[in-house]
């Protein structure tokens, strides 16, 4: 394993040895020699690496039945990996009262994939007593902060098409809603107005012309807002065109205040769309970006830290301008890229070694000694990563000792993690298919560890990998076998129910319905079309009077080129 995974470390030490000679002082003490209870499997592997043992042994060493120092878990999904890890950590805390969350680190190839599921599993445990304090490091600023992500959405939309979906993605941020005094319950009303006024994309005809597209005003924001405002100004019964505009007369009463706040929001976007299209100096960008931040965001006290991070990144633009003495004009996309770079640098290492259970990426300088080190996501194609050098990379064409290679670096990080674990080394991967339960191969690194264990130790290798069931409530998790277990009382209750005999569901109707009323004798063509489109939905909604809440429909970003049949029929009926 050392020869396969230690190439980067070997090259580095050889390069250091070629420099000015220094005195050598060996103070290393093998952890296996300090272990009073005898060497565990993990310590035996670490000692073999230190002593450079290789080749098949004459006699295989035995492993204690209770040895849990090296564990490999195979799950069906990312969520199951985290659920299994949560139960396993609770078991560790119960077995070792001296163990603290700060003594544990959980690393994975890509934190962004696991972050939302970490919050779902560890953030809201079933039992408050089972809550483990944790922090997530190495997340991108936009992924970890809603305010930062929304701010960059504002900058990105200014040079784009201004689609309805992009505008609502900004307005859905709580800090933006608070700034413009728009309640979350009013969002659906605004969404319905935009949909009924057929707003799709583009500020107006001139904005579309600047994008190199035909200058037409239909389905633009300006035309839709004019319809809304005109509908508020004119009497509801006046449905005539006014200066070629059809009033939208469904806004009245207290809704006019909501409309005013919404118009103020989009007008601020429109103002910056025109102004930010011109390049300017870094000092001018610093002023304008700070004004944009104040114009769109009003955060609570808990979110002020995110606003301060943005203000610091914006202030860094002025510092760059002073240091470089660059007064030339810079376009918006360059400034946006620099802001993202500044935020990435400021967030580097945030959340690492915070005194809690740490989730972080597999990066250099992460494998400091911990009592428990857990590696998740060691799938076949995920880790180690493949090194695909571009065709113009001259370094890859003629590699030298010490040149960076992603695959070799990943192997080195795995070796460092293995050597840094003091008591437990926990490996997990998605090893079973969600669809048909077929086995999926692990990372080659896991296979190498399994091969080494099978070659040097007496253990049934087929049983060494713990294969977990698909569902957390599987009865297998609550059998006293020592390998599979769970601390979830709800899943235990569900597992008990799942083992009971199944009964067929009773019929939806056990007697005929009463005769329909007279109004059902006369059927409109629209209701007939609705019935044949989805008979069961029509029956439940209209005959039984059951109207379940429907999922929110996404805002349409493309203008309609043909009328829907029902829309055409409705227009024809109004004309008649």
Asked whether residue 530 is assigned to any structural domain, the reply reads yes
φ/ψ of 26, rounded to 5, equals -90, 110
Residue among 60, 49, 105, 80 nearest 352 (CA): 105
Q: Where does a domain end: 413, 446, 470?
A: 470
> If you ran DSSP here, which 8-state letter would residue 105 be given?
E
Residue 488: the pLDDT is: 85
The span from the CA of 569 to the CA of 573, in Å, is 6
Asked whether residue 195 is assigned to any structural domain, the reply reads yes
* Together in a domain, 214 and 125: no
CB atoms < 10 A from the CB of 442, how many? 23
Q: What digits encode the pLDDT tens for the residues 115-138?
A: 889 988 998 888 888 888 988 887
Q: Find residue 61's DSSP bridge partners.
A: 457
Host domain of residue 557? 518-575
Residue 86: the pLDDT is: 93
DSSP 467-480: EPPSSTT-GGGGSS
* Together in a domain, 161 and 282: yes
* Together in a domain, 150 and 294: yes
Helix (H) or strand (E) holding 71: strand 70-75
Asked whether residue 488 is assigned to any structural domain, the reply reads no
Helix 282-296, helix 304-324: angle, nearest 10: 170
Asked whether residue 222 is assigned to any structural domain, the reply reads yes
* Together in a domain, 290 and 324: yes
* Together in a domain, 549 and 416: no
Asked whether residue 155 is assigned to any structural domain, the reply reads yes
Residue among 109, 91, 99 nearest 372 (CA): 99
| Alpha helix ranges (H) inside 254-303 | 255-275, 282-296
Provide the number of structural domains found in the chain: 3
Residue 425: the pLDDT is: 92
Contact 111, 105 (CB under 8 A): no
Residue 347: the pLDDT is: 62
* Together in a domain, 77 and 126: yes
* Together in a domain, 198 and 302: yes
* Together in a domain, 302 and 376: no
* Together in a domain, 220 and 320: yes
> If you ran DSSP here, which 8-state letter would residue 122 be given?
I
Query: In CATH, what number is assigned to the domain containing residue 199?
Result: 1.10.486.10
Q: Where does a domain end: 283, 314, 347?
A: 347
Q: What digits encode the pLDDT tens for the residues 256-281?
A: 899 999 999 999 999 988 888 888 88
Query: In CATH, what number is assigned to the domain containing residue 415?
Result: 3.40.50.300
Asked whether residue 40 is assigned to any structural domain, the reply reads no
Please state the pTM of the whole predicted model.
0.72
Q: Where does a domain end: 410, 442, 470?
A: 470
* Together in a domain, 71 and 215: no
**Can you list the residues of the chain whose pLDDT is less than 50?**
none
In the three-class reduction of DSSP (H, G, I as helix; E, B as strand; rest coil), residue 245 is classed as strand
* Together in a domain, 225 and 193: yes
Asked whether residue 107 is assigned to any structural domain, the reply reads yes
Q: What digits encode the pLDDT tens for the residues 407-466?
A: 788 888 888 888 888 889 999 999 898 888 898 999 989 888 888 888 888 887 777 888
Asked whether residue 315 is assigned to any structural domain, the reply reads yes
Q: Read off the tokens for 245.
A: 């505009």
* Together in a domain, 168 and 241: yes
């Amino acid at each position: 394993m050392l020869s396969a995974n230690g190439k980067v470390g070997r090259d580095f030490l050889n390069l250091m040895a070629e420099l000015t000679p220094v005195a050598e002082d060996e103070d290393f003490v093998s952890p296996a020699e300090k272990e009073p209870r005898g060497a565990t499997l993990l310590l035996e592997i670490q000692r073999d690496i230190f002593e450079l043992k290789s080749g098949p042994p004459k006699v295989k060493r035995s492993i204690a039945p209770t040895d849990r120092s090296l564990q490999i878990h195979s799950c069906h999904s990312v969520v199951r990996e985290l659920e299994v890890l949560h139960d396993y950590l609770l078991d560790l805390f119960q077995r070792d009262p001296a163990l603290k969350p700060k003594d544990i680190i959980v690393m994975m190839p890509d934190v962004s994939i696991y972050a939302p599921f970490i919050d779902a599993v560890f953030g809201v445990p079933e039992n408050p007593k089972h809550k483990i304090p944790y922090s997530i490091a190495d997340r991108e600023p936009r992924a970890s902060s809603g305010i930062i992500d929304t701010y960059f959405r504002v900058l990105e939309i200014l040079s784009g098409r201004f689609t309805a979906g992009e505008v609502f993605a900004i307005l859905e941020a709580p800090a933006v809603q608070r700034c413009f005094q728009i309640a979350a319950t009013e969002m659906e009303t605004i969404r319905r107005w935009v949909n009924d006024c057929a707003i799709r994309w583009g500020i107006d005809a001139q904005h579309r012309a600047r994008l190199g597209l035909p200058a037409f005003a239909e389905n633009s924001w300006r035309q839709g807002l004019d319809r809304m405002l005109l509908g508020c100004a004119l009497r509801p019964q006046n449905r005539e065109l006014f200066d070629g505009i059809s009033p939208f007369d469904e806004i009245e009463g207290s809704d006019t205040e909501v409309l005013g706040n919404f118009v103020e929001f989009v007008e601020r976007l429109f103002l910056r769309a025109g102004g930010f299209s011109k390049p300017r100096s870094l000092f001018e960008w610093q002023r304008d970006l700070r004004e944009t931040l104040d114009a769109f965001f009003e955060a609570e006290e808990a979110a002020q830290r995110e606003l301060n991070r943005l203000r610091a990144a914006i202030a860094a633009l002025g510092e760059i301008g002073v240091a470089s003495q660059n007064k030339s004009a810079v376009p918006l996309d360059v400034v946006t890229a620099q802001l993202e770079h500044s935020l990435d640098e400021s967030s580097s290492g945030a959340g690492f070694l915070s005194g809690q259970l740490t989730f972080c990426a597999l990066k250099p300088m992460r494998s400091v000694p911990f009592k428990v080190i857990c590696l998740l996501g060691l799938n076949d194609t995920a880790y180690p990563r493949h090194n695909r050098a571009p065709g113009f990379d001259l370094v890859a064409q003629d590699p030298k000792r010490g040149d960076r290679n992603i695959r070799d670096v990943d192997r080195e990080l795995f070796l460092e993690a293995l050597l840094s674990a003091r008591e437990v080394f926990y490996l997990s991967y998605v090893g079973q298919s969600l669809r048909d339960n077929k086995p999926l191969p692990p990372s080659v690194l896991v296979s190498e560890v399994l091969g080494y264990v099978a070659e040097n130790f007496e253990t049934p290798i087929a049983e060494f990998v713990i294969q977990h069931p698909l569902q957390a409530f599987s009865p297998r998790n609550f059998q006293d076998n020592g390998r599979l277990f769970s601390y979830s009382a709800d899943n235990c209750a569900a597992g008990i129910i799942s083992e009971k005999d199944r009964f067929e569901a009773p019929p939806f109707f056990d007697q005929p319905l009463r005769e329909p009323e007279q109004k059902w004798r006369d059927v409109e063509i629209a209701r007939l079309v609705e019935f044949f489109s989805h008979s069961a939905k029509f029956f439940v909604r209209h005959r039984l009077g059951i109207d379940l809440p429907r999922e929110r429909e996404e805002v349409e970003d493309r203008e309609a080129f043909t009328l829907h049949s029902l829309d055409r029929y409705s227009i024809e009926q109004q004309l008649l």
